[in-house]
């Protein structure tokens, strides 16, 4: 009997075009869904006759309750090598193999700078004004050269964002709970003495931390109150790192100059969500990982993972066993964990 594979959240309808699925075409029928299933009942019904599921990042949760409702499910392939919304114990108990793919840090680095530059120079407002025959020149841009970029997290993505800031002639400082002086020196940036000092002194703050117990709600009302009224905040990591109500209040009250956000507490954002109409906000629909090269990697390695599973030799199984602890390690381990976008 042929197997059935479902690709979730294929919003751009490119999953079967951007990669070569012919290696598994003889055994697998592929169906992609370009809409998001927002609740477990709807998702369970859509996947009732599915043997293989392909899921993007952490957009769809696979708790034990869902896995138990999918008796045909045998393989989950998730993009990236970390996924915190899959119940691995339940998957193992039900005979479901979970595999991952590689993921490039380049797209989120580039999007971070697209948001930061868009905010600094009022690109959207000015572009819309020009196209709509509005005022000629409405904003006065914020300079980058000589200004301070504060990075929360200096791992794989934060380190690359830092180097771009240095190329712009910015003073760059960084902070995280685990950031070492050696890591900061390796990248060529200052190690802020505290999170509070970084927030007080930065003209632009960009978040590059993984979401965990120590980072959830890291920027709440008290922390956002430390930002200069001329400062900008960019978050391409995880929405829950920043208190969303506090951020909305700061934007509406004009307590910060603006924010660039690519991640939200609910995705996709419902119609009428406050983030869709907040002032001083440049928002994108979680585009951090969305690029042609990254998608080619995701779906190309998905095909490879399916073929390997069918051959009885699964590749890139998740969760990846943790390496034995050897104390603090400089380099990307300088922040709590690699950021996923």
- Asked whether the beta carbons of 190 and 184 are under 8 A apart, the reply is yes
CA-to-CA separations, 241 to 207, 235, 244, 295, in angstroms, rounded? 8, 9, 9, 26
The predicted pLDDT at position 335 comes to 31
Looking at the predicted structure, is the pLDDT value of residue 46 above 80? yes
**Averaged over 60-82, what is the pLDDT?**
96
Task: Give the pLDDT band of residue 57 (cuts 50, 70, 90).
Answer: confident
Helix axes 106-120, 156-167, angle to 10 degrees: 40
What are 275-313's pLDDT values in tens digits?
Answer: 999 999 999 999 999 999 999 999 999 999 999 999 999
Active-site residue, from 267, 280, 316, 317 = 267
Q: pLDDT over 70 for what percent of the chain?
A: 94
Phi-psi region of 19 (alpha: psi -120 to 50; beta: other; left: phi over 0): beta
Active-site annotation holds for 280? no
163 tagged catalytic: no
Q: How many CB atoms lie within 10 A of CB 15?
A: 23
The two beta strands, 232-235 and 258-261, are parallel
pLDDT of residue 325: 36
Q: Which residues, including other chains, have CB under 8 Å from residue 236's CB and lie 6 or more apart? A: 108, 111, 112, 115, 206, 207, 208, 260, 262, 263, 288, 341
pLDDT digits (tens, 9 = 90+) for 176-223: 999 999 999 999 999 999 999 999 999 999 999 999 999 999 999 999
Q: pTM, whole model, 2 decimals?
A: 0.89
Question: Which of left, alpha, beta for 254 (phi over 0: left; psi -120 to 50: alpha)?
Answer: left
Which of the residues 160, 183, 191, 286 is marked catalytic? 286
Summarize pLDDT for 89-138 with one digit per residue, the tens. 999 999 999 999 999 999 999 999 999 999 999 999 999 999 999 999 99
Q: Is the dihedral of CA 180, 182, 188, 193 positive or negative?
A: positive
- Residue 315's SS3 state is coil
Question: What mean pLDDT, rounded, does the chain reach?
Answer: 93
181 is annotated as an active-site residue: no
Q: Which two tokens stand for residue 131?
A: 């196209």
Q: How confident is the model over 63-79, as a mean pLDDT? A: 97
- Among the options 160, 208, 238, 304, which is catalytic? 238
């Amino acid at each position: 009997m042929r197997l059935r594979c479902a690709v979730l959240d294929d919003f751009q309808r490119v999953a079967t075009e951007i990669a070569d699925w012919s290696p598994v075409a003889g055994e697998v029928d592929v169906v992609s869904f370009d809409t998001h299933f927002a609740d477990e009942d709807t998702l369970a019904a859509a996947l009732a006759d599915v043997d293989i599921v392909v899921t993007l990042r952490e957009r769809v949760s696979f708790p034990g309750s869902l896995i138990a409702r999918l008796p045909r499910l045998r393989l989950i392939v998730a993009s990236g090598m970390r996924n915190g919304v899959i119940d691995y114990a339940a998957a193992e108990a039900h005979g479901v193999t979970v595999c991952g793919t590689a993921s490039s840090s380049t797209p989120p680095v580039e999007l971070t700078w697209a948001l930061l530059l868009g905010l600094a120079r009022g690109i959207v407002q000015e572009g819309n004004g020009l196209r709509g025959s509005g005022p000629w020149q409405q904003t006065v841009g914020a300079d980058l050269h000589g200004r301070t970029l504060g990075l929360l997290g200096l791992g794989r993505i934060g380190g690359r964002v830092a180097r771009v800031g240095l190329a712009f002639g910015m003073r760059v400082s960084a902070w995280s709970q685990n950031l070492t002086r050696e890591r900061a020196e390796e990248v060529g940036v200052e190690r802020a003495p505290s999170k509070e000092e970084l927030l007080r002194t930065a003209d632009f703050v960009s978040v590059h931390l993984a979401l965990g117990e120590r980072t959830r709600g890291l920027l709440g009302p008290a922390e956002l109150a430390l930002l200069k009224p001329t400062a900008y905040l960019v978050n391409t990591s995880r929405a829950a790192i920043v208190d969303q109500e506090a951020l909305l209040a700061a934007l509406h009250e004009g307590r910060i100059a603006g924010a660039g956000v690519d991640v939200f507490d609910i995705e996709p954002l419902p119609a009428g969500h406050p983030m869709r109409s907040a002032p001083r906000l440049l928002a994108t629909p979680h585009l951090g990982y969305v690029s042609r090269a990254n998608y080619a990697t995701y779906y190309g390695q998905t095909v490879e993972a399916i073929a390997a599973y069918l051959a009885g030799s699964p590749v890139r199984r998740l969760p990846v066993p943790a390496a034995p602890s050897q104390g603090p390690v400089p380099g990307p381990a300088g922040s709590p964990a690699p950021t996923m976008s």
